[in-house]
Copies of this chain bind each other. A is one copy, B any other.
Amino acid sequence: MQKVLSYIEKNQDRFLEELKDFLRIPSISNNAENKKDVLRCAHYVADQLRQIGMQQTQLFPTSGHPIVYGEWLGAPGQPAILCYGHYDVQPVDPLDLWISGPFDPTIRNGEIFARGSVDDKGQVLMNFKGVEAHLKSEGKLPVNVKFLIEGEEEVGSANLDHFIVNHKELLKADVVLISDTPMFDRGVPSICYGLRGLVYCQIDLKGTNSDLHSGSFGGTVINPNFALAQIIMSLKDREGRIQIPGFYDDVLPMSPEEKQELARLPFNEEKYQKDLGAPAPFGEKGYGTLERIWVRPTLELNGLCGGFIGEGAKTVIPAKAMAKISMRLVPNQDPDKIADLFERYVKQIASPSVELTVTRMHGGKAWVAPIDHPAIQAASRAFEKAFGKRPVFVREGGSIPVVATFAELLGLPSVLMGIGLPDENAHAPNEKLDLFNFQTGIAGSAHFFNEMKQE
């Protein structure tokens, strides 16, 4: 590994420049107007794969954004690692809160600021460079490697399942490597062994045929904004407990062992709250913050809109109101069943004075892995060698539905080696990535391929 690690050391500046190029492409998969940028980004990924020494590199078109694939299969008899990541990014609004432009990567205090830096371009490039280090210094990899980098992760990976089902032979592997999860804290390398699932819905309410003057009509017609607030308030109680009948039925309690492990983690509730700038603590009663994130489901109101939202005052009763609502699920909760319960309940509680539409956007199952799996243990050794510290085993509140997909469709276990930090503003303004973690993570990635080698 000496040659590999010294190659990484020598090429850090170039790696950083390549990361900047990657981040400059506004590959927002959710915006129709960015379609060309997303395509350009797919080509950038394919070019990278070719440069680092992958073979069979190609773009697979989908009905949405293309999937990029490349492989190196020069280690017969050795396991094959399928590295999954995504090159698309979240929208950037509210734009006015960004200190530097979301697609103008800017380094401040050892962190690079740009949309996609931590989620997930920085971590995708980390694994590219881990592979490159082997191939360019040793001429080979210790194991076989396949890359599957998609462009629709931020919009629900609608075309990925279909692609996987139709390319089972191409994607055949022993384990999936995903780097899209955060470290527990700065200086605490982490392996993630559990993820929450997701159900995402939109509620649309219609009152009258058109917006009305609130003076002339106020008090005589339903205001869909009120009807929406009514629905919202019936979804959770004031402590955050979800009121949908049957919602918690399938939730499993934490095992005593997990509880013990969790209690040992260096976690400071007060600092957590202070870092986020929250005026007061909040969350489901009877659970600590880590439990609330890892093993408790939640319901969040991601967006809310109705009537006049510009500057100043407009005296209008809106005809329509809208809410985007997502639920994070824990293992053993079924997304379809939860979506059914949600829809039935919302229809039941909505005022009859409004027309209600519920649209299901996307969803995915939660996931939990056995910590003693050999690939997870290899990941643990790799991070220990790179960071000089034994990693902790953590769960994550977010969803990577593809982890469940790989398990179900290909029967593959996943290893989640992420190097993001919890305060790196994924999905928010001023997204960033710690450059020490990026650079150390490249070594971690290179070590992982080495640790996966069978003697």
Interface string of A90-124 (1 = CB under 8 A from B): 11011001000000000000000000000100000
Question: How far is A351 from B399 in the complex, measured between Cα atoms in Å?
Answer: 29
| Contact of A280 with B91 at beta-carbon distance under 8 Å, contacts A210-B429, A304-B306, A306-B304 already known | no
Contact between B302 and A315 (Cβ–Cβ < 8 Å)? yes
**Are the CB atoms of A313 and B221 closer together than 8 Å?**
no
Q: Is the CB of B298 within 8 A of A308?
A: no
* Chain B minimum-CB-distance residue to A298: B219
Name which residue of chain B comes closest to A400, CB basis: B215
Q: Given A276-B209, A278-B208, A312-B361, verify A398-B215 contact (CB < 8 Å).
A: yes
Q: Is A218 an interface residue (CB 8 A)?
A: yes
**Contact residue among B198, B238, B304, B321 (Cβ-Cβ distance under 8 Å from A321):** B304
Known: A278-B221, A397-B216. A428 touches B304 (CB 8 A): no
- Determine whether the beta carbon of B304 is less than 8 Å from that of A305: yes
Binary per-residue interface labels of chain A (193-224) against chain B in the complex, 1 for a CB within 8 Å, 0 otherwise: 00010101010001111111111111111110
| B215 and A313 contacting across the interface, CB-CB below 8 Å | no
Does B301 contact A219, Cβ atoms closer than 8 Å? no
Q: Is the CB of A317 within 8 A of B304?
A: no
- For A289, the chain B residues whose CB sits under 8 A away are 220
A389 to chain B, nearest CB (A): 22
Closest B residue, CB atoms, query A287: B219
B283 touches A214 (CB 8 A): no
Q: A156-B313, A428-B316 are in contact. Are A328 and B215 (CB under 8 A)?
A: yes
Is A55's CB within 8 Å of the partner chain B? Answer: no
A240 to B317, CA, bound (A): 14
Among A209, A217, A303, A429, find the residue whose CB has the most chain B CB atoms closer than 10 A: A217
Do A361 and B302 form a contact, CB below 8 Å, given A215-B198, A328-B219, A397-B217?
no
Per-residue interface assignment for chain A, residues 234 to 248, with 1 indicating a CB less than 8 Å from any chain B CB and 0 otherwise: 001010100000000
Query: What residues of B have a CB within 8 angstroms of the CB of A296 in the complex?
Result: 219
Please name all residues of chain B whose beta carbon is closer than 8 Å to the beta carbon of A90 when the two chains form the complex: 314
Tell whether A369 is near chain B: CB-to-CB under 8 Å: no
Stretch at the interface among A70-78, A419-427, A438-446: A419-427
Contact A427-B283, Cβ < 8 Å, known A313-B156, A321-B304: no
B-contact 0/1 string along A358-398, CB 8 Å cutoff: 00011000000000000000000000000000000000111
A-B pairs with beta carbons under 8 Å apart, 21 shown: A30-B310, A91-B314, A97-B211, A198-B215, A209-B277, A211-B427, A215-B399, A218-B300, A218-B397, A221-B276, A221-B283, A222-B280, A228-B304, A229-B301, A229-B304, A230-B238, A303-B310, A303-B318, A305-B306, A314-B427, A315-B427
